[in-house]
Each structure stands twice: as structure tokens, then as C-alpha cells.
Amino acid sequence: MESQSAKPIIAALLQPLPELTRARNDLSDEGVVRLLVRGFIDQALAAFTEVLHGRLDQDEAVDGINRQATALNAVFLGTSGFDTVIAHPWNAPDQLGAFLKDVVALDYPEDDCVRAMLIHLATQVMHALRLPDEDRNEEVEALTLDAADLLLGRAPEDDGEIDIDIGV
């Protein structure tokens, strides 16, 4: 991962979406949210794979993942400044941030909860690399769906447990 500012990284994640969304990325659209989460996960997987193969320093990988999470924090909290992103009242620290803080039991300020949840998600992705390919793919898909549901304001319905284990 090169030392890049967050805007170009997230702009790249938003790039393939306008075709599907008529040049607007609506944060209430489940498909858009899943694509953003999956793009983040794919970049985290790529960074961790590079670390495992010795082609990238672990600190550089973590810094890059944190920059992406910070940029997505701004996107999902409606402060990114991207004119292709449609944010809603839900996309605010006192709404989405408070929801994540409560449901996922994050000990972070509400305006940093999306970033914190994504960093914990990246940690779970890193652990998924230890699984056999088929299990890894299934785990990554489950993590993607869980994270997208949280970002859309949907708490888990099954047993009340959040599959994104944040280790708190």
C-alpha cells in the first residue's frame, strides 16, 4: 500500500458504483453499502496477503487499512464531501455512531464508531486468512453481510449476537 490520502482510496471504492446507481451512491441502498464494505474487505485482504508474503510491512498495511476506515467513517457519517454520495439523517454520529456504539458495544466517540467497527472487521478478516479457502470465502461473505447490516442500522436478528467479534 502506498502512502495515499484517504480521499483517492475511497474515491476508487466509489468508482464502480455510479454505473449501478445512476452516478449517485445512496447510503440507504443495501447494494451500495455492501459494495463499499466488500471493497474495504478486499483491500484489507490484499494488504494482509502482502504482509504474509513479506512484500509489505505490517505497520504500513495497518496504516493503510486505518486510512481507508477513516475515509469510510466520513462517507458513512455524511462528512466526506463526495457529491456522488447521498447521505441521510441516519448517516450522522448521533444516529449511526450511537447505534454502533450501543449495538456493537464500542468504546469510541460516536463520530469515530464507523472507523472503529471497520478496524475490528479488518481484524476478523485477518483471522479468516487462516481458514481453508472455502471456509475463508464463507466467513468473508458473512462478515460483509453483517457489517453492511450494521451500517444500514439493522441489528442481528438471530440470537442477539454480533458476528463481528470486536474483542471487548
Per-residue model confidence as pLDDT tens digits over 11-39: 655 655 544 545 578 999 999 999 999 99
Burial of 26 from C-beta contacts in 10 A (0-12 / 13-18 / 19+):
middle
Do 145 and 91 contact (CB within 8 A), yes or no? no
Check whether 10 has a pLDDT greater than 70.
no
Q: Is the dihedral of CA 55, 61, 67, 73 positive or negative?
A: positive
Q: Is the pLDDT of residue 58 over 70?
A: yes
- Amino acid in the structure at residue 26: D
Give the model confidence (pLDDT) of 131-157 as tens digits.
Answer: 998 999 999 999 999 999 999 999 876
Per-residue confidence at 160, pLDDT binned at 50, 70, 90? very low
Which pLDDT belongs to residue 22? 55
Q: How far is it, in rounded angstroms, from Cα 47 to Cα 91?
A: 28
Residue 161 reports pLDDT greater than 50: no
SS3 152: coil
> Which residue, 168, 33, 32, is CA-closest to 102?
168
Spatial contact of 117 and 147, defined as CB atoms under 8 Å apart = yes
Read off the pLDDT of residues 79-130 as tens digits, 9 standing for 90 and up: 988 888 899 999 999 999 999 999 999 999 999 999 999 999 999 999 998 8
- Give the three-state DSSP class for 47: helix
What confidence score (pLDDT) does residue 159 get? 42
Distance CA 83, CA 154 (A): 26
> Which residue type sits at 4?
Q
What is the C-alpha radius of gyration for the chain, rounded to an integer number of angstroms? 15
